[in-house]
Every structure is written in structure tokens, then in C-alpha cells.
Amino acid sequence: MSDDTLQGRFIWYELLTSDPDAATGFYTELIGWGTAEWGEGENPYVMWTTDGTPQGSMGGVIPLPEEAKQAGALPHWLPYVGSSDIEATVSEAQQLGGKVMVALTEIPTVGRFAVLSDPQGAVFAVFAPAEQAPGHEGPAQLREFSWHELATTDYEAAFEFYGELFGWKKTESLDMDPVGIYQMYGRKDMTLGGMFNKSKDMPGPPAWLLYIKVEDVDQAVQRVQELGGKVLNGPMEVPGGDRIAQCMDPQGAAFAIHSSSGQIA
């Protein structure tokens, strides 16, 4: 796999929701994102932007597909991970025990993607852009996704899967008694997130939780509630002094917010 600037990097974040218009209003008010439309016709694809231009886009929002609803899926955020050889990535994911949820699909002039699930059942997507990949290397800036957390049933097995598939490496780990080990991982000397075994009182199947960098978590938590969302956990301080909170938007999609203890970029 030749392009090590792409392989294993989180490059796109898509919200699948029951009410795209309401969800767009919630996140633009809360985070300060803009939106831009791509495509023609009555239902263009709505992209999230951080600088008001399509070039600054890092995700999008779409209606939750009917077939997904029938399968029991609720509104959720879907992370896309870059692949320098997407056919090989999809094949290897299956060999490693993963499943194909949406077969490899081409979007003309944009690239190819597939939606997969890992052996424990957490859903993610892989993406090979036709031209330059969205996003950037290095630390997340304000209003970008800064942490990628997997709550699963077997974090060691999950890490083996993603490590083989994307080349991710273990970094630090914390003992979060009574939950257990919180294993952080990364690529190219950059920590991307953490994995842990979900407790018995955590509802739902294994899933990814995506953290958005904000200026002040405590102020953002108040705004979440004012806008009709829910605060599930926090705000609280984590090792190193950063602050986080886990939330749910008004349509039921889980997300998290994060503010740095240092100077905000």
C-alpha cells in the first residue's frame, strides 16, 4: 500500500440522520460549522465546512437510508478512513473477520468507498479519493474532529483488526478501573484515539464515538441543552488536563466534544 499519507488516516465524517435540516441547524449553531452543497438536482449532498468553502469541508450529512432503518440503525456518525488501495483494504477486512455492509461504490469525480463492520460489529467506512484527500495530517484544529474512540466487546481483538488493516500502532494505555484498560492508538507519531471494552450498562452494540474540538467544553455543554440535545456524560477533565463531554443530538446521534488545556489553535 503505497500512499502512507492516506492509509489509516481519518478523512471524512458523515452524519446519517432522520432529519438532515434540523441536524444541520443544530451543529452549525453548536460548533460553528458552515455548509456547502455538492452535486445537482433536488437533493444535493450537504457538506460540513470549517472555513465556509467546499475546500474546507471535512464531512457531510445525509438522510438515514430506509434499509438501514429497517435493519434497526439509529441516527449516527460514520467515520471514513483513508485507503491507498481500497480493493485490497476491503478484501483484507473480510479476511480479518470484518463484514461488508455497503459494497464498494464509485462516486464519479469523487472517489470510491465501502461501508464495513469490524469483527465485533462496529461500523466504519473506507474511502479512496479520486484526487486530493480531504483533511490534513497533524493535530486537529478548532471545529475539527480530534479524537476517535471505539467502545467494543474485545478491544485487544479490535486493535489487532485495525492494526493489520490500517497500520495503526498502540501508544499509551490507561487503567480506567472498573472499566479496565483504555488503549490509545495512532499513526505517524500522532495519537488518533482510544479503544476500550464497553461496560454492561453501556447501551447498544460496539460503536465509534467521534470527538469535535471546541473552544470551551463547559460553555458548549450548556449550548447542547439549549439547542435540544442531551448531555450523556461530563463535562469532565481527562489525564493531561483537557476537558470532554459525551452528548446526543436532538435526532439521537451520539457525539462528543473536547477542549484543549493548552492554547487553542
Q: What tens digit of pLDDT does each residue of 251-262 get?
A: 999 999 999 976
Q: Is residue 136 part of a domain?
A: no
Q: Are residues 19 and 57 in the same domain?
A: yes
Q: Are residues 16 and 46 in the same domain?
A: yes
State the pLDDT at residue 22. Answer: 97
What is the rounded average pLDDT for all residues in the chain? 92
Q: Is the pLDDT of residue 56 over 60?
A: yes
Q: Decide the pairing of beta strands 190-197 and 145-152.
A: parallel
Q: Is residue 57 part of a domain?
A: yes
Instruction: Read off the pLDDT of residues 188-215 as tens digits, 9 standing for 90 and up.
Output: 889 999 999 998 888 889 999 999 999 9
pLDDT band at 105 (very low <50, low <70, confident <90, very high): very high
Q: Is residue 264 part of a domain?
A: no
Distance of CA 227 to the CA centre of its chain: 22
Q: Are residues 122 and 212 in the same domain?
A: no
Total domain count for the chain?
Answer: 2
- Give the DSSP per-residue string, 193-248: EEEEEPPTTS-SSSEEEEEEE-S-HHHHHHHHHHTT-EEEEEEEE-TTS-EEEEEE
pLDDT band at 55 (very low <50, low <70, confident <90, very high): low
Pick from 112, 82, 71: which is nearest to 10 by CA?
82
Order of strands across the sheet with 190-197? 169-176, 180-187, 190-197, 145-152, 207-213, 254-259, 243-248, 230-237
Q: Are residues 151 and 255 in the same domain?
A: yes
Cis peptide, bond prior to residue 235, ω within 30 of zero = yes
pTM of the model: 0.94
Q: Is residue 195 part of a domain?
A: yes
Check if the beta carbon of residue 151 is closer than 8 Å to that of residue 176. Answer: no
pLDDT band at 75 (very low <50, low <70, confident <90, very high): very high
- Please give the sequence-ordered ranges of beta strands (E in DSSP) within 88-189, or none if there are none: 99-107, 111-117, 123-129, 145-152, 169-176, 180-187
Residue 165 backbone phi and psi in degrees, to 5: -75, -40
Cis peptide, bond prior to residue 203, ω within 30 of zero = no
Q: Are residues 61 and 117 in the same domain?
A: yes
Q: Are residues 108 and 203 in the same domain?
A: no
Q: Decide the pairing of beta strands 254-259 and 207-213.
A: parallel
Q: Are residues 116 and 215 in the same domain?
A: no
Q: Are residues 149 and 108 in the same domain?
A: no
Instruction: Read off the pLDDT of residues 235-250 as tens digits, 9 standing for 90 and up.
Output: 999 988 999 999 999 9
State the pLDDT at residue 91. Answer: 98
Q: Are residues 158 and 236 in the same domain?
A: yes
Q: Is residue 224 part of a domain?
A: yes
Instruction: Read off the pLDDT of residues 77-94 as tens digits, 9 standing for 90 and up.
Output: 999 999 999 999 999 999
Q: Which three cell numbers stand for residue 34?
A: 458552515
State the pLDDT at residue 183. Answer: 97
Enclosing domain of residue 125: 10-129
Q: How far is CA 161 from CA 82, 136, 164, in A?
A: 16, 24, 5
Last residue of a domain, one of 96, 129, 162: 129
Using CB atoms within 10 Å of the CB of residue 227, give its burial: 0 to 12 exposed, 13 to 18 middle, 19+ buried: middle
Q: Is residue 114 part of a domain?
A: yes
Check if the beta carbon of residue 79 is closer than 8 Å to that of residue 72. Answer: no
State the pLDDT at residue 54. Answer: 63
SS3 (DSSP) at 139: coil
With cell 492509509, the residue in question is: 7
With cell 471514513, the residue in question is: 80
Check if the beta carbon of residue 89 is closer than 8 Å to that of residue 82. Answer: no
Q: Is residue 178 part of a domain?
A: yes
